[in-house]
A = this chain, B = another copy of it.
Amino acid sequence: MKRIGYLGPPGTFSEEAARRHRGNGEGELVACASLEEVFARLETGLLEEGVVPVENSSEGAVSVVLDMLAAHPELTVRGEVVMQVVHSLLVPPGVKLEMVEKVLSHPQAFAQCRTFLRQKLAGVELQECASTAAAAALAARCRRPWAALAPLSAASRYNLQVLIPAANDCPHNKTRFWALGRKRVLSPVPPCKTSLIFGVRHRPGALYRVLREFAIREINLTRIESRPSKKGLGDYIFFLDFEGAAGDPVVKEMLDVLTEEHTTTLRVLGSYHVEQE
């Protein structure tokens, strides 16, 4: 049976995304202690797939995931899942807001609840945990007035009370997850998206010449993201998503042109089916 890894423990948004990605198919969901562990287990074949967050509607790219993906050339994108994400403030029974001494969560959740934390819990200590569910588990067992920012579903799982059901600053907070694996999806069911990583030479118009190839073929970009190449400030690689599959004749021809004429490196992360919103 296929093993699908996610950032655990059970109860994270990643678990829910992994469940949605599995759908009605077979697959064992495997909780990993960190995103690094998901990548390490994919690399060594202990997992066939891993479901990881790549982008949030208020915080933007999950940079650690993009950087690890860039560092793992053997991995491809096999699917995507978009999830509504609501962070709840959970506390041990009996704890009130004014009693909270510390808030536990994942750094992304802190970032998505920044205004709430500043307005309602100013000066309260923030402790980073490996995941939102790990934060809930720790709040539950610490026997202190500590709160966790975590999915609502973690309340019943860890015997916590819901103090604030929705603490995220942005009410339409969504996160996009990618299902990664070593095996490429060869004929994804339309509608599809394709994702690329590429670099360009430092000269005027370099990025323009890449985008031109998409524009003249009327291929719609859905996202472009620059990431530091880590070689120095001002040196970037680009993550780009567009509508269509790498096997479409027009796309295939364009990718050849990009590789030969306009990019220093180009890697097709994968083509995958997308759900209509």
**Contact across chains for A172 and B232 when beta carbons are under 8 A apart:** yes
Complex Cα–Cα for A59 and B60 (A) = 13
**Contact across chains for B111 and A64 when beta carbons are under 8 A apart:** yes
State the copy count for this chain. 2
**Contact across chains for A223 and B236 when beta carbons are under 8 A apart:** yes
Complex Cα–Cα for A176 and B57 (A) = 25
**Contact across chains for B227 and A60 when beta carbons are under 8 A apart:** yes
Complex Cα–Cα for A61 and B61 (A) = 10
Determine the chain B residues whose CB is within 8 A of the CB of A64 once the complex forms. Answer: 111, 114
**Contact across chains for B60 and A170 when beta carbons are under 8 A apart:** no
A193 to chain B, nearest CB (A): 11
**Contact across chains for A174 and B232 when beta carbons are under 8 A apart:** yes
Determine the chain B residues whose CB is within 8 A of the CB of A176 once the complex forms. Answer: 233
Binary flags per residue of A61-89, CB closer than 8 Å to B gives 1, else 0: 10110000000000000000010000000
With A127-B126, A127-B127, A223-B234 in contact, do A205 and B209 touch (Cβ < 8 Å)? no
With A223-B234, A225-B226, A233-B55 in contact, do A208 and B204 touch (Cβ < 8 Å)? no
Q: Judge if A228 is at the interface, Cβ distance under 8 Å.
A: yes
| Stretch binding the partner chain, chosen from A8-16, A153-161, A213-221, A265-273 | A213-221
**Contact across chains for B59 and A63 when beta carbons are under 8 A apart:** yes
Determine the chain B residues whose CB is within 8 A of the CB of A128 once the complex forms. Answer: 107, 110, 126-128
